[in-house]
Structure 1
């Protein structure tokens, strides 16, 4: 999913085929893919209680930022996706790929699960940072409207 998402965006930009639909639904599709993968990894006992805080941080931020975007959209305010948020999404996708490889992947490529967990926590850190950035930018836009 992440690889096709990358090429989809790349080709849309290269051939100037960007659309409002793509701008709106691509981030939603990314969030759904991350959420579904996280739930699957928890149900498969790959993500355990020790890593649950990272998952909760990621899910909470996605819900809050999505709600914030909807609220702002109702006031004709749009927040562009930041470069840091794009890095966060990329890091999440790589982490999920490593974690989805599971114990079998770790047996074939020792350390892949550890790498996945490190990247999961790093993406949780970027999640907090980008969530704060979006909140701060939103407040700035709202103050300028008043």
Structure 2
């Protein structure tokens, strides 16, 4: 196995995937959300960087080709698992997450069955957009958790009426509750929209992969 710099970046991204979940075991929220989001964003950036450097430096290896999709899928699956686990289990979040997780498991199993033949089924540009949209959606959803919990922390001890008056502007907002509330609403809605777009792209690319693999599945 050749441990080039791009391969090391890919391996670090793979190791960062379980750390996203571990953050919620050792840190309280919203600090866990913030650390997990920062870790996820940094790891996501290496997804572009390692591939770019491998091609630019002529260091494309079998190890890197194998690790890259595994690292991407591990990051997405674990991050979505954490987000859904700490959410209100809204169907608007659970349904697109289910589509994404099902596709990733299905395609991984299909690739394993096809063996060396899977290497001939090239990754499309739409699949790359799918991965990018997934990662942006997850980062935004992590930020929603940060806004939500700071809003709760800063309004601690206030009754619902007082919070409502602050948010409506009837009472001066000395703590910045309105900013946190707007951030929570906008990031939550934007994250869900992006996640549904990612789910649609995930479904389309999964179907495309199955159609291309179908000739190799005939007896």
Match of 1:31 in 2: 73
Q: Do 1:77 and 1:141's aligned partners in 2 also have CA atoms closer than 8 Å?
A: no
Count residues in correspondence. 143
Q: Distance in 2 between matches of 1:138 and 1:113?
A: 37
Q: Distance in 2 between matches of 1:62 and 1:69?
A: 10
Q: Distance in 2 between matches of 1:105 and 1:125?
A: 27
User: Paired residue for 1:114, among 182, 186, 189?
Assistant: 189
Q: Do 1:95 and 1:116's aligned partners in 2 also have CA atoms closer than 8 Å?
A: yes
User: Paired residue for 2:146, among 104, 110, 118?
Assistant: 104
1:43 matched to 2:85: yes
Classify the secondary structure of the residue corresponding to 1:37.
Answer: helix
User: Paired residue for 2:215, among 140, 143, 146?
Assistant: 140
1:94 matched to 2:171: no
Deviation of residue 104 (structure 1)?
2.9
Deviation of residue 108 (structure 1)?
8.2
Q: Distance in 2 between matches of 1:129 and 1:77?
A: 18
4+ runs of 1 displaced by more than 6 Å?
none
TM (normalized to structure 2)?
Answer: 0.60
Deviation of residue 8 (structure 1)?
1.3
Structure 1 residues 77 and 36: CA distance shift in structure 2, 3 A: closer
Structure 2's unaligned 5+ residue stretches are: 1-42, 149-179
Instruction: Please provide the CA RMSD for this pair.
Output: 2.0
Deviation of residue 102 (structure 1)?
2.1
TM (normalized to structure 1)?
Answer: 0.88
Q: Do 1:2 and 1:93's aligned partners in 2 also have CA atoms closer than 8 Å?
A: yes
Q: Distance in 2 between matches of 1:77 and 1:97?
A: 30
Q: Do 1:95 and 1:120's aligned partners in 2 also have CA atoms closer than 8 Å?
A: yes
Classify the secondary structure of the residue corresponding to 1:52.
Answer: helix
Task: Summarize deviations over 1:68-114 as a string: whole Å, max 9, x none.
Answer: 1111116x442221111110000000000100112434728731221
Deviation of residue 142 (structure 1)?
4.3
Match of 1:3 in 2: 45
Classify the secondary structure of the residue corresponding to 2:123.
Answer: coil
Structure 1 residues 97 and 109: CA distance shift in structure 2, 3 A: farther
Match of 2:56 in 1: 14
